[in-house]
Amino acid sequence: MTMSKAKSNNPLAILDSMRNGVVVRQRLQWMEDHLWWAGALNRSDLMLRFGISPPQATNDFSLYQKMAPANIQYDSKKKLYICSNDFAPLFPKNHERWLRENMLEDQALQTIQLVSVTSLKRGIGSTLMQLISRAVRNKTPLRLIYQSMKLAEQEERIVSPHAIVETQVRWHIRAWDEKRESFVDLVPSRIIDATPYSSANWVSQEHDEQWNRIVDVLLIPSRKLTDNQRRIAEADYQMTNGCRILRVRACLVFYQLSAMYLVDAVRYHKGQPQERDLGIAVKNWKELQPLIMEVY
């Protein structure tokens, strides 16, 4: 059984009948996660994490043992509860969430460190975010003064925003541009000024065909790999039968491929990476080419 799925039967139902079942569930899930990822825990860990009394910690361990007796064993020599070899999770497991949450724990409860590389992502100001959010709520277009990197001078643009997109390197605003009569991607840091503009008609997300159309990006191991390397790539990218399918909005295909350094591969090299080969290529490159040849 995979760790991403909970047990097929549902011993957690017992918590639904408890007056404080939601709180108990939170503690039991933390217990199980710590047991699974760290391999062991004791009563003092639970007491430290939730500020509960020894009797309450004892009750929680007893309840978990009742619900999942095969998951947990007591090592009398180490005086620890340990994860059994027959462990079957009651709760879904997510290693990324656990790593992030573990770094916020008391130092005595932390295990391995999670360290992130600083991202130089271009941001979006709170005032602009407020204006965009209210524009969508009130269905009122915005009048922007925008400085494009393609033009020397600033220009006025009347837009109807409908989404904020976050990529690895920036945020952008997906919006209808009245002048261009099309939906475009606007970089927040290039917006010099923004004000509500009720004189124009609001154009909603329903009309954004490229946003509403979902396409498949088919990832396969790159052909430069040896058989052993190919198996590693298939495992790294969770491929099934040698392929990983990403379902992506058509207007976001460029950004998805860019995050994997595969834009040039699709544009010029039949889906195969050249200089930056992360071990993956794009099988349906020809289908995706029209979506990435021009990005506003």
Tell whether 1 is covered by a domain. Answer: no
- The residue ranking higher by pLDDT, 257 or 276, is 257
Q: Which pLDDT score, from 0 to 100, does residue 252 have?
A: 97
Q: What is the pLDDT of residues 149-184, one digit of tens each?
A: 888 999 999 999 999 999 988 899 999 999 999 999
Tell whether 114 is covered by a domain. Answer: no
For the chain, the domain total comes to 3
Tell whether 279 is covered by a domain. Answer: yes
**Domain end (from 68, 84, 109):** 109
Give the strand order in the sheet containing 214-221.
244-249, 214-221, 280-282
Q: What is the pLDDT of residues 93-145, one digit of tens each?
A: 999 899 999 999 999 998 888 888 877 778 889 999 999 999 999 999 999 99
Residue 184 and residue 142 share a domain: yes
Residue 203 and residue 169 share a domain: yes
Tell whether 244 is covered by a domain. Answer: yes
**Domain end (from 178, 209, 240):** 209
Identity (one letter) of the amino acid at 233? A
Question: Residue 84: which domain range?
Answer: 13-109
Tell whether 236 is covered by a domain. Answer: yes
Q: Report the mean per-residue pLDDT for the chain.
A: 91
**Domain end (from 162, 177, 209):** 209
Can you give the CATH number for the domain in which 177 is found?
2.30.30
Q: Which pLDDT score, from 0 to 100, does residue 169 have?
A: 85
Residue 72 and residue 24 share a domain: yes
Can you give the CATH number for the domain in which 104 is found?
1.10.10.10
Beta bridge partners of 219: 244, 282
Residue 71 and residue 134 share a domain: no
Q: Which pLDDT score, from 0 to 100, does residue 295 have?
A: 53
Residue 19 and residue 94 share a domain: yes
- Tell me the pLDDT band of 9, cut-offs 50, 70 and 90: low
Residue 171 and residue 139 share a domain: yes
Please give the model's pTM, rounded to 2 decimal places. 0.73
